[in-house]
Structure 1
Amino acid sequence: MSVNAQSFVDSKKKPNIIYINVDDLGWMDTETYGSTFFETPNINKLAESGLKFTNGYASAANCAPSRACLISGQNTPRHGIYTVSNSDRGNTKTRKIIPIKNTVVLADKNVTLAEMLKRAGYTTGTFGKWHLGEDAKTQGFDVNVGGSHNGNPGKNGYFSPYNIKNIIDHKKGENLTDRLTQEAISFIKDNKEKPFFVYLPFYAVHTPLSTTSALEKKYSEKEGNSSKKKAIYAGMIETVDRNIGLILDEIKALNLKNTLIVFTSDNGGIRAISNQDPLRAGKGSYYEGGIRVPYIISWDGVVKPNTVSKIPITNLDFYPTFMDILNVNMPKKVLDGISILPILKGKIIKDRSLYYHFPIYLQAYNAKTDQARDPFFRTRPGSVIIDGDWKLHQYFENNEIELYNLKSDLGEKNNIVEVYPKKASELLEKLNAWRTEINAPIPTELNPKYDADFVPNKFKKNH
């Protein structure tokens, strides 16, 4: 798959790109998006310098598939990464159908975002969670610090000595978020004379929750705290925010004005840790709480400061956007997003639908707080289409349909499929057409171990 070298913009005009991907940060978990408890002054500063999206979406509701979509530029049916590890999650007696087998490593044949940027003359570095294979350097990164197949840093892993690969321990007790930021800053300094791509996928704020005793004490005593868990989580968010401030300061000190910065999360937050109201549910769910995430994009001289966009975007859009910025031509590369460069320049784009396909099971975190359809799973096999204000869920086990109008019911509380059957049919037709086009596998084989009357022991007391 070739890149037309003659189409590249002049090297001095190529923006440096920094993509900050906070792990499991919910839509409501920063001051910028409405939190009155978490403290994020540097994220506020970033928003003041750029464009905030209120209808930004991850391409999947949990870690690995969302990252695979970002890095490949392709939706889940194309790369087959639908979840973390196995697809038959939860108790087998509660699964009515056999889920589609999950892929756990992004295939090397996929021309990644980093490989595209390298071909365009960029030096590339990733600092943090990779989750798509053992080493990001096989997928276009010149430098990889801390990235492997690890989905989290493990017990006590946010403080050195670390439990993750591809990182060398320095000072005992060093914080992982601090360390990854310093590695990224060193990379920026070393490559300031040429275009660089920094992918900064912090392990924070993923579980296991861990922060300093000082930050835990601060938030434990702060008004609005509801639990020790929330206090620790707040400390992790403050640490991420402080480090984002260090990056912004370094970019300013080096006078790297032509730097495009993206701030986002890979999926929704864990509802049992941080309430995402008014959104329903959280990580692992295809209700809004699981897929709607913060997006802030700053680019001095291009993006108008302190602006807000209601146009829906997804992380599938960044691959084609960066290609558009660089005038890169890759005719054989299949992409499922669109360029949002016009939005960054203050223009509008043509309306389009967003699609999700999740032909597997994901077990419950907490039956009381998940806000799922049932207590056993955060989500069951199905697909989703978002089309303007309308959102339709289709579940494969019983071909059940849910229809919501997000403008009037952002919390997805009132299923109006019987009120608007024509709209439901219209959206289902679009969804079916998309699945056919992308060759999305639909599970149909019945699970012989399914027991409709079975209730796991931990749920019996509630039934």
Structure 2
Amino acid sequence: MIKASLFCALLLMAMVSSMAWALGEDDPRVSSPGGDVLADRPDILLILVDDLGCRDLSGEGHATHQTPNIDALRAGSIRFTHAGCNGPNCSPSRAALVTARHGSRTGVHTVGNADRGKAADRRVKAPRNGFRIGEDEKTIAETLGAAGYRTGFIGKWHVSDDPKTQGFDRNIAGNKAGHPKSYFPPYRNADLEDGPKGEYLVDRLASETVRMIESFETASQDDGRPWFVMYAPYAVHTPIQANAESVAAMKARHPQMSDRSARYAVMVEATDRAVGSVLAAVDTERTVVCFASDNGGLQPVTDMSPWRGGKGMLYEGGVRTPLFIRAPGLPAGDVETPVQLFDVHPTLVELAGVEMPVDRPIDAVSLVPALHGGPLDRGALFWHFPAYLEGRDVESHDPGRPFRITPCGSIREGRWKLIEWFEDGEVELFDLETDPGELVDRSGAEPERRDAMVARLAEWRRGVNAPMPTPISTVPSAPKSD
């Protein structure tokens, strides 16, 4: 628990910063070099790794991966032990994070088309998915940029064509692509120049991030402006690639590893080293650092045990994400209140002493009270995934079919989590405290709780105007006239 005096000091700093911003950037109290209010605002580094499962970190118990840099960051941070992403795959999770809004407001519910797989295997018609957030959405970069922050993006964007059209001053490698063509040159990325033969994309993007931070720091010495950098490496998303020497060394350490597992382990450890190099470039006394993954790990490449499932599912293995925040003056500790990834957005904005937009509904909730050791009135967590995703060799809801997930929605209230399947209305209810692996359906044993949660989920869907699947027509088409 943070001491009350420190809490008051932080609160006073935020109030003073907000008042200073109201004066405008032209006021000498804001823009003059040295001792100005801008210089009191923290720099912010948001690290969003791709497809990294909680259990992929040695600090979370992985038996073979060695991730000392991320583990050290985790140890010195406030750790949200029940954090879930907002979508079980890349685009909806990222869209929610950068806008602080649910997918039913941005229109991004999944990656690509919602009606994936063979038509003969689908039992309902999925609603149309929005591939990108609209330019009218206001991102975290736009909010912080309007308050005087320099903003930069590096890595995987995947929610529109260009981060620079949505608030980022600089962009390296970010566009609509969901994964790299290759982790080795030629990258075939219009927003990243190819490097020398043998260069590894994981290392390259870390170096680019360090250079960007250093350039922002240099510029800040002249005008005092703080910076916000979103470092979103493509790793450890497919393709699972690593150089042959590193893979051989990994298999020498762990002879029982398959070739794919060894390549994946090399990617995880390379990502850890990359994160370490980026962290070494920041001033820990004035930088807020947030670390997370966009969704659960990919089965069967990695294992999310004891949680069920993986990326692309609403079971815990698909939505659990490592989430921790390190801020100057705040002691490390655990927060067990369930939260969602997009809550990071208003949290970082509040830590910067900036106001969230008031011209649109904001669904995310600031975690600042929890950072200060106080209670967090987060309320229920909601998911809406009205789409199909293909997949085999995974712990799916219906293992006899070729899908990781079929259209569904979910609500979590404390220890209880309910999943509603839209094809047939089936409901599953789990007590995550006694059954973290979601193996025992309690819907029959807890009918009152089940019905109340189903009703709250339906009420929430109406509130956000969530699109629902519709029945597939069985009426034959009229014959064409000759």
* TM-score, normalising length: structure 2: 0.88
Shift, 1:313, TM fit:
1.7
Contact 1:394-1:400 within 8 A present in 2 as well: yes
Mapping 1:147-296, distance limit 5 Å: 147-154=174-181, 157-192=182-217, 193=220, 194-223=225-254, 225-251=256-282, 255-296=283-324
- Pair 329,284 (structure 1): closer, same or farther in 2 beyond 3 Å: closer
Q: Name the residue aligned to 1:389.
A: 415
Q: 2:346 aligns with which of 313, 316, 320?
A: 320
5+ residue gaps, structure 1: 451-463
How far is the alpha carbon of 1:256 from its aligned partner? 5.0
For 1:456, the equivalent position in structure 2 comes to none
C-alpha distance 234-329 of structure 1, shift in aligned 2 (>3 A)? closer
Contact 1:355 1:385 in 2 (8 A): yes
- Note the alpha carbon deviations across 1:204-242, whole angstroms, 9 max, x for none: 000010112232122223348442111100100111100
Contact preservation (8 Å) 2:396, 2:405 = no
What is the CA distance between 1:370 and its match in structure 2?
3.4
2:42 paired with 1:15: yes
Q: What RMSD, in angstroms, separates the aligned Cα atoms of the two structures?
A: 1.9
Task: Tell me the CA shift for residue 26 of structure 1.
Answer: 0.7
Q: Which amino acid aligns with 2:419?
A: H
The match for 2:119 is 92
Shift, 1:184, TM fit: 1.0
Q: Which residue number in structure 2 is paired with residue 441 of structure 1?
A: 467
1:338 equivalenced with 2:365 (yes/no): yes
Please report how far the alpha carbon of residue 7 of structure 1 lies from its aligned counterpart in structure 2 after TM superposition.
8.1
Q: What's the TM-score once normalised by structure 1's chain length?
A: 0.91
**Distance in 2, Cα, partners of 1:226 & 1:176:** 24
Residue in 2 aligned with 1:454? none
Q: Which residue is equivalent to 1:457?
A: none
Match for 1:259: what amino acid?
A: T
Secondary structure of the structure 2 residue equivalent to 1:373: coil
Match of 2:6 in 1: none
- Give the Cα–Cα distance (whole angstroms) in 2 for the partners of residues 271 and 171 of structure 1: 32
CA distance in 1, matches of 2:164, 2:264: 31
Q: Is the 8 A contact 1:7 1:329 kept in 2?
A: no
Q: Distance in 2 between matches of 1:178 and 1:225?
A: 27
The residue type paired with residue 242 of structure 1 is R
The answer to whether the Cα contact below 8 Å between 1:161 and 1:173 also exists between their aligned partners in 2 is: no
Deviations 1:55-75 (A, max 9, x none): 111110000111100111111
Give the 3 Å change call, closer, same or farther, for CA 117–228 of structure 1 in structure 2. same
Give me the whole-angstrom Cα distance separating, in 2, the residues matched to 1:396 and 1:42. Answer: 42
1:362 and 2:378 equivalent? no
What is the aligned-residue identity percentage?
35
The answer for the alignment partner of 2:14 in structure 1 is: none
TM-fit CA distance, 1:53: 1.9
Q: Secondary structure at the match of 1:127?
A: strand
Match for residue 98 of structure 2? 71
Cα gap change, 1:285 to 1:161, in 2 (>3 Å): same
Aligned AA for 2:416? W
Secondary structure of 1:218's aligned partner: helix
Aligned to 1:455: none
Deviation at residue 380 of structure 1 after TM alignment: 0.8
**Aligned-pair CA distance for 1:140:** 0.7
Contact 1:147 1:165 survives alignment (8 Å) = no
Alignment of 1:102-117 (within 5 A): 102-117=129-144
Aligned mates of 2:356, 2:449 — CA distance in 1: 38
2:238 aligned partner, one-letter code: T
One-letter identity of the residue aligned with 1:275: D
Asked if 1 retains the 8 angstrom alpha-carbon contact of 2:202 and 2:274, the reply is yes
1:247 is paired with a residue of what secondary structure? Answer: helix
Instruction: Rate the CA distance shift 1:224–1:427 in 2: closer, same or farther, 3 A.
Output: farther
Q: Which amino acid aligns with 1:290?
A: G
Q: Deviations over 1:357-407 (max 9, x none)?
A: 01111111x2x3334323321111111001100000111111110110000
Larger radius of gyration: 2
Question: How far, CA to CA, are the matches of 1:232 and 1:169 in structure 2?
Answer: 22
Partner AA of 2:22 in structure 1: Q
The aligned counterpart of 1:410 is 436
Cα gap change, 1:427/1:240 in structure 2, threshold over 3 Å: closer, same or farther? same
User: Hey, what does 2:69 align to over in structure 1?
Assistant: 42
- Alpha-carbon contact 2:140-2:349 (below 8 Å) kept: no
Higher mean alpha-carbon deviation, 216-225 vs 176-185, is at 216-225
How big is each residue's C-alpha offset from its partner over 1:276-299, in whole Å with a ceiling of 9 and x where there is no partner?
110101000000000001112111
Paired with 1:117 and 1:191, the residues of 2 have a C-alpha distance of 15
Q: Distance in 2 between matches of 1:225 and 1:391?
A: 37
Contact 1:384/1:394 (<8 A) preserved:
yes
Q: Residue 124 of structure 1: CA displacement? A: 0.7
Structure 2 residues without counterparts, runs of 5 or longer: 1-17, 25-29, 31-36, 477-482
SS in 2 for 1:28: helix
Q: Distance in 2 between matches of 1:195 and 1:224?
A: 48
Q: Residue by residue, what CA displacement relative to the aligned partner does 1:152-180 show, whole Å, maximum 9, x if unpaired?
A: 111xx111221222011232221111111
Task: Give me the whole-angstrom Cα distance separating, in 1, the residues matched to 2:95 and 2:263.
Answer: 29
Distance verdict in 2 for CA 1:66–1:447, change over 3 Å: farther
The alpha carbon displacement at 1:12 in A equals: 1.7
